[in-house]
Structure 1
Amino acid sequence: MTTHTNTTGISPFQNEAFVDFSQPENKKAMEDALTKVRATLGKDIPLHIGGEKITTEDRIVSINPGNTDEVIASVSKASKELAEKAMQTALTAFESWKRVPAAERAGYLFRAAELMRERKHEFSAMMIFEAGKNWPEAEADTAEAIDFMEYYAREMIRLSETNEHKPLTKVPGEDNKLSYIPLGVGVVIPPWNFPLAICVGMATAAIVSGNTVLLKPASVTPAIAHMFVELMEEIGLPTGVLNFIPGSGAEVGDYLTTHPKTRFISFTGSKEVGLRINRLAAETAPGQIWIKRIVAEMGGKDGIVVDETADLEAAASAIVASAFGFQGQKCSAGSRAFIVESVYDEVVELVAEKTKALRIGVQEENFPIGPVSDKNAYEKILEYIEIGKGEGRLIAGGGKAEGNGFYIQPTVFADVDGKARIMQEEIFGPVLALGKAKDYKEAIALYNDTEFGLTGAFFSKEEDRIAYALEDMHCGNLYINRKCTGALVGAHPFGGFNMSGTDSKAGGHDYLLLFTQAKMTARKI
């Protein structure tokens, strides 16, 4: 394996450039990747435990949400017994992996990022089929995965080098140092909505920090997670460091969360599941000698505030992009907007017009709007749309869309009260609620009236109002005069307040500290 590091100085991190699919050569490259990946669909995927590939009778069947007749993969499902086998394998691997120098561990991530970049469109194509992403959304997901690996590799090298970045008060006659050592075996439970980026980011942050990982992918998108696991095996990651164990949350997830040898759980998903993990992990199991660490990102009810001085065209475009990008299936999605009454009607009209212009169709053909994730989400979102019809004025969408998949019309309700269910509850689909405020302060108060606190945006031209918003809008990621989605690794460390999770700030300088523990040493000289 070749390491791509320089321990005397690392080149500055730069985000992966997005591909412009309007260029003929890029369009053809994606079409070729779609053809190549389609030929692999329907295969059997085993568990990966250490060096073993294990096939089970119990399966997770992944289907294309945009064409429900198409099977993406049949994936072996772990039992408690196999989860225990994976735990023992990871515990054994940890004893050697924790001793591998940080720069060498980082080298694996640099190599994996290099290979993923070479096969970028193939990873994106799998997400188009399995997750229902359009080309730009899939491309952004893959680019973020590459960014995470390169960023965390550089961060691990930084943490492992001299004490210059963590100066200690010197004591005469002593050599005192602070180092960051790994925790142990962690359970990584990524979401289906960013099935590559967040999966890769969570897993590689733990791995590069010196931990070993039990990866339980989302049941909706196991095939793309398996592509990542195969990539890590290809670059020579030692066996047992990353173990692939798809399975039931109620069975495998709960078993590993309560396991006495589990050192940490890294989770991204719903508030309900996150709180359950937090509760189960808080109980001390027989033989457990540590407090388990929880890293949780649990969603949001994000929104945009628009005052009367704002660029209304730009604000309306941002509202629509934030609400309906990837069918609103982002924890950062702007599913609410509060608009000052003097410009309310104008913004509502612009939002309705822009929403109605969105085309719906299969993602292989790169439509702006595709299917939602699965049947459960489809039915839940349609139920919320019916609730919304009693809570607001329907101005766009309002029901199912045509197609052999889980297609729903982008839906907008106006004149919605801040306490309405569609203003308060996370729908995780293409549903937007608009509300009116007397002024920008009331609009910000309405925005803050939620149990979540992940992302938000404020549109205004007045600096004093912007200053007020920066101070008073309570969320982990706040954007001014731009959409509330689209955080970039290294530029916008991502994580939220309140029921949005532990504010872990993925893609930021503090993130790897969550997978390490600080050890101080002092030596008499």
Structure 2
Amino acid sequence: MNTGYFSYPLPANEPVLNYAPASAEKATLKAVLAELKSQTLDIPMYIGGEEVRTGKTENIRPPHETAHVLGQFHKGDASHVKQAIEAALAAKKEWSSLSWEARAGIFLKAADLIATKYRPYMNATTMLGQSKNAYQAEIDAACELIDFLRFNVHFLSEIYRQQPISGPGMHNRVEYRPLEGFVLAVTPFNFTAIGGNLPASAALCGNVVVWKPANTQVYSAQMFMRILKEAGLPDGVINLVYVDGPVIGDVCFSHRDFAGVHFTGSTGVFNKMWETIGKNMNNYKSYPRIVGETGGKDFVMVHPSADVDIVVTALLRGAFEFQGQKCSAASRAYIPSNIAAAVKEKLVAGVKSFKMGTVEDFTNFVNAVIDEKSFKNIESYLAKAKNSSDASIWVGGNADSSKGWFVEPTVIEAKDPKFVTMCEEIFGPVLTVHVYPENEFEATLELVNTTSPYALTGSIISRDRYAIELASERLRDAAGNFYINDKPTGAVVGQQPFGGARASGTNDKAGSMLNLYRWLSARTVKETFAPPTDYAYPFMKEA
């Protein structure tokens, strides 16, 4: 029963704690890190109201300390995906008919739980499981996830308020229904907040969800799932399963009630999903919603007027925070010849000043890449740079797997602007720069626009307003998130809705109303108060 219109005003972004020396939050976080390392978790899948353990387990090891075991998670198979779908569909009727304020209350409570008692646990599981330093975990697993939960409630309340006009003798309204069927959420390792938002945003809209996180993010994903349950999320609304990607695709994409996929991951996987869904269109009850944020080859375009210190800081942070494992990380930069030597000197010095090691040593700026597969992939690109006459390494270039998956932050200079590391996504701490003649700024803009198939993020650094305007126009389609005099990373919910186009995805902007519309199906209702009783119209009479 609806008894009133409920207000969910625009929230403030969650404040970022700084973990300064002797701060309470730093002491608490270190204590939780020690607590978690002293345990070996047994992590089940969550299907309906059951904790499902298969006995087929896989170890979770910190990427920066591969000798240590944090726990094991129970791997599922196709039968568990089918169970998850059945549990979701069984929960759908009650969940979709639950009052809006009740649904909102669950996710707002989850946000408050993360902001308070579970903040150090969300951060610590992210630090240990994904090798993020304290600050990178704080802005991700705490602040961004809290913001997603709170802002989504506000945005959905604004959508519900959008209603049509009514003519005389009638009343019109629009109902924003959940999709008919279940939603599949497939989430990546690199952002705990994305892992939480993709299933939660669809569920907030009244949908039921099957959630498959990356195996390398299970440690923090299970923590968020436990928080949702404590916040009152009913059984079966979100079902967390740990299965291989092809397995979940085979089951979900062939199911009649498949209603949509919310995806963040590689472009190749997303393309395969789209192809499979297209081939199965005759099987579905409705046209599925396909929402994806995929790869990036994000650029920093530097104008000859740029301040060297601003350029260097943007590159050091943009390319090497979280080891470059952000879809938005600066991975190619175009430096004008007039400031190239100064940029090189300070950039190399900055990289050499980085400390690299475990997340428990808070003085480390750089930690490990996520796993062996990523480590070897990055090594292959470093080898290409070392063995090519078209490239040289300014700093870094080495890797060590003796204790963890450590890759030195590396800067490559590409003499050929189409060298492989300028074009292909590497997803590691590797920045490639190309030095262009300072009088060829406009021509280089075209190079930036055409070098990569991606269009996720990018930036222009300049003190010349005409140059900024020109770059903003020429690079309009090259980035879904464009930054002026800043690094191309760090989008904040409510401030910079995130997503790109071209090979970077469907640009449905997570953390905005645009994304939530994708998980709603509108129904227009017209009620006529004095219905006509004669088919004839006045124009039909002559006198």
TM-score of the superposed pair, with normalisation by structure 2: 0.92
Query: Pick from 372, 380, 384: which aligns with 1:383?
Result: 380
Q: Per-residue displacement from partner, 1:421-451 (whole Å, max 9, x unpaired)? A: 1011000001110002233222322221210
In 2, Cα distance between equivalents of 1:33 and 1:330 = 25
Q: Which residue of 2 aligns with 1:327?
A: 323
Q: Which residue of 2 aligns with 1:497?
A: 501
In 2, Cα distance between equivalents of 1:298 and 1:365 = 32
Q: Which residue of 1 aligns with 2:292?
A: 296
Query: Pick from 70, 73, 89: which aligns with 2:71?
Result: 73
Query: Pick from 187, 191, 201: which aligns with 2:188?
Result: 191
8 Å CA contact 2:291–2:506 kept in 1: the answer is yes
One-letter amino acid matched to 1:487: A
How does 1:11-410 map onto structure 2 within 5 Å? 11-25=9-23, 26-40=25-39, 42-118=40-116, 119-142=118-141, 143-161=143-161, 163=162, 166=163, 168-183=164-179, 184-194=181-191, 196-284=192-280, 287-366=283-362, 367-389=364-386, 390=388, 391-401=390-400, 404-410=403-409
Deviates further, 25-34 or 302-311: 25-34
One-letter amino acid matched to 1:467: E
In 2, Cα distance between equivalents of 1:461 and 1:403 = 45
One-letter amino acid matched to 1:486: G
Q: Per-residue displacement from partner, 1:324-360 (whole Å, max 9, x unpaired)? A: 0100000000010001222222222222221121111
Q: Per-residue displacement from partner, 1:54-101 (whole Å, max 9, x unpaired)? A: 111322322111111111221111211111111011011111111112
Shift of 1:158: 2.1
Shift of 1:23: 3.9
Q: Which residue of 2 aligns with 1:442?
A: 443
Q: Per-residue displacement from partner, 1:445-465 (whole Å, max 9, x unpaired)? A: 222121000000100111111
Shift of 1:7: 4.1
In 1, Cα distance between equivalents of 2:400 and 2:22 = 30
Q: Which residue of 2 aligns with 1:454?
A: 456
One-letter amino acid matched to 1:430: P
Q: Per-residue displacement from partner, 1:281-307 (whole Å, max 9, x unpaired)? A: 122266422111111011200010111
8 Å CA contact 1:260–1:285 kept in 2: the answer is no
Q: Per-residue displacement from partner, 1:480-508 (whole Å, max 9, x unpaired)? A: 00111000001000000100000010112
One-letter amino acid matched to 2:156: M
State the SS of the aligned residue for 1:68: coil
In 2, Cα distance between equivalents of 1:442 and 1:353 = 30
8 Å CA contact 2:254–2:283 kept in 1: the answer is no
In 2, Cα distance between equivalents of 1:518 and 1:502 = 20
TM-score of the superposed pair, with normalisation by structure 1: 0.95
Q: Which residue of 2 aligns with 1:512?
A: 516
8 Å CA contact 1:303–1:335 kept in 2: the answer is yes
Give the 3 Å change call, closer, same or farther, for CA 416–267 of structure 1 in structure 2.
farther
In 2, Cα distance between equivalents of 1:236 and 1:420 = 52
Give the 3 Å change call, closer, same or farther, for CA 344–120 of structure 1 in structure 2.
same
In 1, Cα distance between equivalents of 2:63 and 2:87 = 35
State the SS of the aligned residue for 2:333: strand
1:484 partnered with 2:463: no
8 Å CA contact 1:338–1:446 kept in 2: the answer is no
8 Å CA contact 2:298–2:458 kept in 1: the answer is yes
Q: Per-residue displacement from partner, 1:179-221 (whole Å, max 9, x unpaired)? A: 3111131110110011x20011111110100001111110112
In 2, Cα distance between equivalents of 1:305 and 1:350 = 18
State the SS of the aligned residue for 1:69: coil
1:475 partnered with 2:474: no
State the SS of the aligned residue for 2:97: coil
8 Å CA contact 2:299–2:458 kept in 1: the answer is yes
In 2, Cα distance between equivalents of 1:319 and 1:236 = 43
Give the 3 Å change call, closer, same or farther, for CA 469–50 of structure 1 in structure 2.
same
8 Å CA contact 2:48–2:84 kept in 1: the answer is yes
Q: Per-residue displacement from partner, 1:237-265 (whole Å, max 9, x unpaired)? A: 11110111111112123322332211011
Q: What is the RMSD computed on CA atoms of the aligned residues?
A: 1.6
Deviates further, 476-485 or 67-76: 67-76
Deviates further, 433-442 or 305-314: 433-442
Shift of 1:12: 2.5
Q: 5+ residue gaps in structure 2?
A: 530-543
In 1, Cα distance between equivalents of 2:499 and 2:415 = 27
State the SS of the aligned residue for 2:171: strand
Alignment length, in residue pairs?
Answer: 515
Q: Which residue of 2 aligns with 1:463?
A: 465
